[in-house]
């Protein structure tokens, strides 16, 4: 298996975000993530939400062209990383002429793999008084940063022994390309002031080694997200021995086992698992800003309830830490997932991985 550099065509034209060009003339099979390769080689594609990545361009010529490439004989398998990704794919193509051909190539979900240490890296903090919580996310509002700040403000007001560590460059707003955010961020000004509270440490964007060091001395990972294709910070936290608290949307209910490896926060979702309010409003409207603020306030209240419970039950927290580490080893470790993918690649070289017609008819 050889990794090749690739040319991100969307840098030249955004609709080509779906495409990939890379020198692989000697390859028997090309395996990619999210992007569909050009050229004559046999391909398999793993994806996290939509494929082709043509958001709200399902009637475009580019969407039709790349969908045909997926349905054609050179594409041997389409691999979702979660049931949520699978549902998104089904919804995306349900009314299209290629639905049956595409569903025949859709495999069962194969989660991403990450390195997992043999010994849990997190220190045992059973004797500590303060609960140390970590939020990681570049898109601050989308990932749930405002809910974290609301919880931090309430915890400070109550005098709860909870530390909030925020690892983020605070990317926000529609102009920055964040699809959950309005352009006017005035609605968030009051909450953003909580970044200066004494129980909040804003670390900015950290090098990965520094982030891992922070996680080894922390208790809980937080991802109260409003929209996330997977939730990579959750499984990375598991690998370090941190349980995670996240919203019950997108793929997070597949990752977090409430009461065992973390906790889930209630959020209204549609049939696919997307936050129900996300596309129900004009994002520049006052109504959406009110909904957004009400939602992060509610999620923040729920988050604080979960954190306060863990802060007063260190034995339960340490048990959840052990369970999170075990989950990482059994479900997401490279040693577990890599052989599964390698077997799929070898089988794909011989023949397309097609579902039986009766099974594929149930998919879409």
Angstrom distance (rounded) from CA 88 to CA 49: 6
- Give long-range contacts, CB 8 A cutoff, 24+ apart: 330-333: 331/111, 331/235, 332/111, 332/112, 332/113, 332/114, 332/116, 332/235, 332/238, 332/239, 333/113, 333/114, 333/115, 333/116, 333/239
Q: How high is the pLDDT of residue 321? A: 97
Angstrom distance (rounded) from CA 111 to CA 240: 18
* Tens digit of pLDDT at every position of the chain (364 positions): 777 766 666 666 655 666 666 666 678 888 989 888 877 888 899 999 989 987 777 788 888 988 999 999 989 999 999 999 999 999 999 989 999 999 999 999 999 999 999 999 998 888 888 999 999 999 999 999 999 999 999 999 999 999 999 999 999 999 999 999 999 999 999 999 999 999 999 999 999 999 999 999 999 999 999 999 999 999 999 999 999 999 999 999 999 999 999 999 999 999 999 999 999 999 999 999 999 999 999 999 999 999 999 999 999 999 999 999 999 999 999 998 889 999 999 988 887 766 554 444 343 3
Spans of all domains in the chain: 9-112+335-363, 131-332
Q: How high is the pLDDT of residue 299? A: 98
The token pair at 232 is: 């990579």
Q: How high is the pLDDT of residue 307? A: 98
On whether the pTM is more than 0.85, the answer is yes
Which value, in Å, is the radius of gyration of the alpha carbons in the chain? 21
Q: How high is the pLDDT of residue 54? A: 77
Helix (H, G, I), strand (E, B), or coil: what is residue 257?
coil
- Domain 131-332 is classified in which CATH homologous superfamily? Glycogen Phosphorylase B; (3.40.50.2000)
- Going across the sheet that includes 244-247, the strands are 200-204, 162-167, 131-136, 220-223, 244-247, 262-265
Q: How high is the pLDDT of residue 359? A: 45
């Amino acid at each position: 298996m050889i990794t090749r550099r690739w040319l991100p065509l969307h840098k030249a034209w955004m609709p080509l975000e779906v495409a990939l060009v890379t020198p692989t003339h000697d390859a028997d099979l090309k395996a990619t993530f999210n992007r569909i390769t050009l050229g004559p080689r046999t391909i398999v594609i793993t994806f996290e939400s939509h494929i082709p990545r043509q958001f709200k361009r399902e009637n475009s010529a580019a969407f039709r062209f790349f969908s045909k490439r997926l349905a054609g004989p050179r594409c041997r398998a389409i691999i979702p990383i979660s049931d949520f990704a699978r549902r998104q794919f089904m919804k995306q193509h349900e009314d299209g002429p290629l639905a049956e051909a595409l569903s025949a190539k859709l495999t069962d979900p194969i989660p991403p793999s990450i390195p997992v240490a043999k010994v849990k890296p997190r220190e045992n903090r059973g004797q500590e008084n303060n609960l140390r919580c970590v939020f990681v996310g570049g898109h601050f509002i989308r990932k749930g940063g405002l809910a974290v700040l609301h919880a931090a403000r309430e915890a400070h007001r109550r005098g709860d022994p909870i530390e909030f560590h925020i690892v983020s460059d605070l990317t926000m707003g529609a102009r920055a390309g964040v699809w959950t955010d309005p352009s006017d961020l005035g609605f968030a000004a009051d909450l953003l002031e909580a970044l200066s509270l004494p129980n909040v440490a804003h670390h900015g964007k950290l090098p990965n080694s520094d982030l891992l060091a922070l996680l080894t001395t922390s208790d809980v990972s937080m991802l109260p997200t409003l929209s996330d294709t997977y939730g990579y910070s959750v499984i990375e936290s598991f690998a370090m021995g941190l349980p995670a608290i996240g919203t019950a949307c997108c793929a997070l209910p597949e990752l977090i086992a409430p009461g065992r490896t973390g906790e889930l926060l209630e959020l209204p979702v549609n049939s696919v698992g997307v936050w129900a309010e996300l596309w129900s409003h004009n994002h520049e409207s006052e109504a959406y800003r009110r909904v957004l603020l009400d939602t992060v306030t509610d999620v923040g209240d729920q988050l604080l309830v979960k954190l306060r419970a863990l802060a007063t039950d260190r034995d339960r927290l340490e048990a959840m830490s052990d369970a999170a580490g075990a989950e990482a080893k059994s479900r997401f470790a490279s040693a577990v997932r890599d052989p599964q993918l390698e077997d799929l690649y070898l089988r794909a070289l011989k023949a397309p991985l097609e579902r039986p017609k009766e099974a594929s008819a149930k998919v879409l």
